Amino acid sequence: MRIDGLQYANWSEKIFRQLREGGVDAIHVTIAYHENFRETVLNFEKWNRWFEQYPDLIMKGLTAADIDVARATGRTAVFFGFQNPSPIEDDIGLVEIVHTLGARFMQLTYNNQSLLATGCYETEDAGLTRMGKQVVREMNRVGLVVDMSHSADRSTIEAAEVSERPIVVSHANPHDWAPALRNKRDDVIRAVTSHGGMLGFSVYPHHLRNKSACTLEDFCEMIARTAERYGAEHLGIGTDLCQDQPDSIVEWMRVGRWTKQIDYGEGSKSDAGFPPMPSWFKDNRDFGNIENGLRATGLSEAEVQGIMGGNWYRFFAENFGPQTNPDN
């Protein structure tokens, strides 16, 4: 089983076919960065048309059982998520609505301070806001997973502690391996995993040691050492693959509507566009390279299979449905 914890590709029939060639059984797809509720609904509509156009390649995913259907029919189950809480605007009632539409993940921030929490690029991290704590409770109730991939340290730790259900960092790497602002420090990863949450390892070059020149061996060895520290059962892959996206999309991701200036994130003007991917992971057909690389580190076959997809499957099965004890 192969499950990718996050991608933001420029979707096309070509990529849908590459998903099948790479044996990707399920994928978490970003369908909102800075969109408001109505704009996000239009993105759901776009995906509904793709499901109609390519029914032999992709299908909508709502529960872990849909992955079983996808595997049995040779398709990829697509699960939706937001990299920003903008689709719920300032209305907690929209949490249940977006879950009903098919959303299964929502980040509480995208780099900046939001109504809910602090992003990883802010100077001061005030943690979860009053609204943030209430929204987390509502997300727990309906089965919308809290994702803290772009959030600051205190906010992420508080989210792990406040949430009554496990949370995720769907796409990042350990900060002590590659000290990018977006990567997560030890106490953050420990807070997420000790509460039953998941860390998805990213192959986005700005999150890698030596960036585009990172070797497969270094990447997989990092995963193996992380497994020793936090437990392999809490780990998965979240590539953050942005295949075939034009460089203008980076500007939308980083700038949205909050500034008139170009925000280069962790890079410089020379890093304005998408960086080249490492040679061992260009597209979805390369998942086998990661799987073989993990085997070479000495991880057990069960651990490798868990990281490649089994752990995400278990997490989906336990966390996409309504809360069973909402009064606790």
For the chain, the straight-line distance linking the first and the last C-alpha, in angstroms and rounded, comes to 34
For residue range 135-188, list pLDDT tens digits in order: 999 999 999 999 999 999 999 999 999 999 999 999 999 999 999 999 999 999
What's residue 222's pLDDT? 98
Are the C-beta atoms of residues 141 and 115 closer than 8 Å to each other?
no
For residue range 76-115, list pLDDT tens digits in order: 999 999 999 999 999 999 999 999 999 999 999 999 999 9
Please state, as a whole number, how many other Cβ atoms lie within 10 Å of the Cβ of residue 48: 12
What's residue 161's pLDDT? 98
What's residue 273's pLDDT? 74
Torsion angle of the four alpha carbons 65, 232, 292, 241, in this order, in degrees rounded to the nearest 10: 70
- The residues spanned by each domain of the chain are 3-319
Are the C-beta atoms of residues 61 and 11 closer than 8 Å to each other?
no
What's residue 250's pLDDT? 77
Q: What tokens were used for 151? A: 């959030």
What's residue 263's pLDDT? 75
What's residue 85's pLDDT? 98
Are the C-beta atoms of residues 148 and 156 closer than 8 Å to each other?
yes
Q: In this prediction, what percent of the chain has a pLDDT beyond 70? A: 96
What's residue 265's pLDDT? 62
What's residue 8's pLDDT? 94
Count Cα atoms within 13 angstroms, Cβ side, for 186.
5
Are the C-beta atoms of residues 85 and 116 closer than 8 Å to each other?
yes
Q: Which fold has domain 3-319?
A: TIM Barrel (3.20.20)
Closest by CA position to 274, among listed 9, 4, 81, 1: 9
What's residue 274's pLDDT? 82
What's residue 151's pLDDT? 98
Low-confidence ranges of the chain (pLDDT < 70): 264-272, 326-328
Phi, psi of 100 (to 5 degrees): -60, -35
What's residue 271's pLDDT? 60
Are the C-beta atoms of residues 81 and 106 closer than 8 Å to each other?
yes
What's residue 244's pLDDT? 87
Q: How far apart are CA 311 and CA 304, in angstroms?
A: 10
**Residue type at 100?**
T
